[in-house]
Chain A
Amino acid sequence: MELGPHILLALLESAVSTAVLALTAIGLALVFGIMRVVNVAHGEFFMLGAVLAWWITDQLTAFSPAVGFAVALVLSPLLVGAIAYASDRIVINRVDYDPERTIVATVGLLYIFQQISLMTFGPDARPVEPPFNTRLAIPWLEITEQGWAVYWPWGLSITSYKLAVIAISIVLLIGVWLVLSKTRYGLIMRATQQDKDIAQAFGIRIERVYGLVFAAGGALAAMGAVLIVPIQQAHYLMGGDPLLLSFIVVILGGLGSLSGTLVAAAIIGLSNGMIAVFFSPTLAKILATLLVALVLIWRPAGLFTRSSR
């Protein structure tokens, strides 16, 4: 393949993982921004989402893959949201949302979820069949003696499912934005984020807000995971990468800033994918981690936050 089509292909493939990363990182950013909790177990909510998606589709093999997948896309995030809600009530709330103790507590949750997953579903990587998977060829332009001509480079294609992942993620992200900016719940969350004491003085039950935010954060990670399992298999140790990348994105984006998180997800997701294709995945990760280190030194408030604050 020539360089142009090759770059386009790499960009499209990276866009798929970027979309999933954006969903996962937004979940982490919400939890950090509103609750000030650094959730080290966030990647395990991703893992649980993926493993539950496999389990749900496995129960529904009598139906078409599309039905099983659709059920998983709704049910798995709901289940993970419930697990996250319970984690908040049983663990995070009990340590009073103290920044340091919650880190230790969520490290504990990380191992608990991993081991439960291992003991319940086993150590094998589990595939999920995509609901649809048509390969779509993509045209390219080249200059010939007669001028511009369209042609179909061999190997330049993407599956319909991958395009759907991008589209569904965008719809979900727009949904998150609408809830936060246009609804009563969103207003309550933003007020709690900005001044929790005054929010309480105005009757806001912040612990209830925290429970719901933690549930939503887990559910968002699970949604990303359900979308990715038809492409990558579900496995009890799969939570590490999404956790690392989400942290990188949230730090670059400016802790708790949602628009910053989205831009950072785009930068990290796309560059990570491109470097992985053209060089190596390890180099991609090294560079991303290095970038975070530099940002923490030079712009600890994030790449995009106004320097006055």
Chain B
Amino acid sequence: MLELSGIAAAYGRVKVLHDVSLSVCEGEVVCVLGRNGAGKTSTMKAIMGLLPLSAGQITVDGTRLDTLPVDHVAKHRVAYTPQGRRLFPELTVRENLEIGLMARGEDSRVLDWVLELFPRLEERMNQLAHTLSGGEQQMAAIGRALCINPRFLLLDEPTEGLQPSIVALIQEVVSTLSKSGVGVLLVEQRIDAVLSIADKVAFIENGYSREVVPAATLKTDRSLLEKYVGV
């Protein structure tokens, strides 16, 4: 289980996370919902060690992550697909994926699995990442994270600005992953998508975590959605 308990964090003096707690079990899809600037991306950065905590703790199966150096988080099979994709722009798709494979010394079996999930990447292997289309970039960014063969995957707005067919493909991949036991922490603005693939929804507001509810309840009762996201 990936667990955040009472974390707080700041960029310099600007405190952005005050008290965030949530947990993701293996095979579970947990979606974080909140307004722009609520602290969703910051929460993910904190899990990856890219934003140091001032309080609270983060554990994977009881092992503290937040006290480890940033580069050790991947060793615990926690993978990150950041908002805006952030591929290495001047590396080819193959090289981007290799960086993922190297993190834990995974072999070509993992690569084959990733290319099975995203066959389109196979044709793009030798292309520089910054020349890919938006959809291809997102596939490569998720693929790169999957190359570490994660147990927990953090996906920050993976469908931002993408056409419906690619959104559907990404949703399909997320549910495939969760069926195979990967825990997914998802930040997603498309409420319909959230409700169809998430198990739980965790609301976050101004750096505080709020209600955590089963996604199914939101289908009938939209009051929480109105309260925290305004839809």
Interface residues of A (CB under 8 A from B): 184, 187-188, 190-191, 194-195, 197-206
Contact = CB atoms under 8 A, between A and B. Distances in A.
Mostly, the A contact residues are: helix
A201 B98 CA distance: 14
Contacts of A195: 86, 88
Given A184-B102, A187-B99, A203 B88 contact: no
A201 B88 contact: no
30 contacts: A184-B102, A187-B91, A187-B95, A187-B98, A188-B102, A190-B88, A191-B91, A194-B91, A195-B86, A197-B50, A198-B80, A200-B50, A200-B71, A201-B48, A201-B49, A201-B70, A201-B74, A201-B80, A202-B99, A202-B100, A202-B103, A202-B144, A203-B71, A203-B72, A203-B74, A203-B75, A204-B99, A204-B102, A205-B69, A206-B71
Nearest 10 A/B pairs, CB to CB: A203-B103, A203-B74, A200-B70, A194-B88, A202-B103, A201-B48, A205-B71, A201-B80, A200-B71, A191-B88
A37 B72 CA distance: 25
B53 to A, nearest CB: 16
B148 interface: yes
Nearest to A190: B91
Contacts of A197: 50
Nearest to B90: A194
A8 B185 CA distance: 67
Contacts of A199: 88, 99
A191 B71 CA distance: 14
A202 B90 contact: no
Given A191-B95, A205-B71, 7 more contacts: A184-B102, A187-B95, A187-B99, A198-B88, A202-B102, A203-B75, A205-B69
Contacts of A191: 88, 91, 95, 99
B124 interface: no
Interface in B72-102: 72-75, 80, 82, 86, 88-91, 95, 98-100, 102
Most B CB atoms within 10 A — which of A195, A199, A201? A201
A206 B99 CA distance: 13
Nearest to B88: A194
A89 B50 CA distance: 22
Contacts of A198: 80, 82, 86, 88
Contacts of B88: 190-191, 194-195, 198-199
B44 to A, nearest CB: 10
Interface residues on B, range: 20 to 34
Nearest to A208: B71
B45 to A, nearest CB: 8
Most B CB atoms within 10 A — which of A187, A191, A197, A203? A203
Contacts of A184: 102
Interface in B50-81: 50, 69-75, 80
B104 interface: yes
Contacts of A204: 71, 99, 102-103
Nearest to A206: B71
B99 to A, nearest CB: 5
Contacts of B86: 195, 198
Interface in B92-139: 95, 98-100, 102-104
A175 to B, nearest CB: 20
A202 B145 CA distance: 8
A188 B91 CA distance: 11
A203 B104 contact: yes
A198 B212 CA distance: 29
Contacts of B74: 201-203
B73 A201 contact: yes
A309 to B, nearest CB: 9
Contact of B148 (A190, A194, A202): A202
Interface in B125-172: 144, 148
Contacts of A200: 49-50, 70-71
B89 A194 contact: yes
B50 A201 contact: yes
A229 to B, nearest CB: 37
Contact of A190 (B80, B90, B100, B144): B90
Contacts of B72: 203
Contacts of A190: 88, 90-91, 95
Most A CB atoms within 10 A — which of B50, B88, B98? B88
A216 to B, nearest CB: 19
A307 to B, nearest CB: 16
A199 B75 CA distance: 13
Contacts of B69: 205
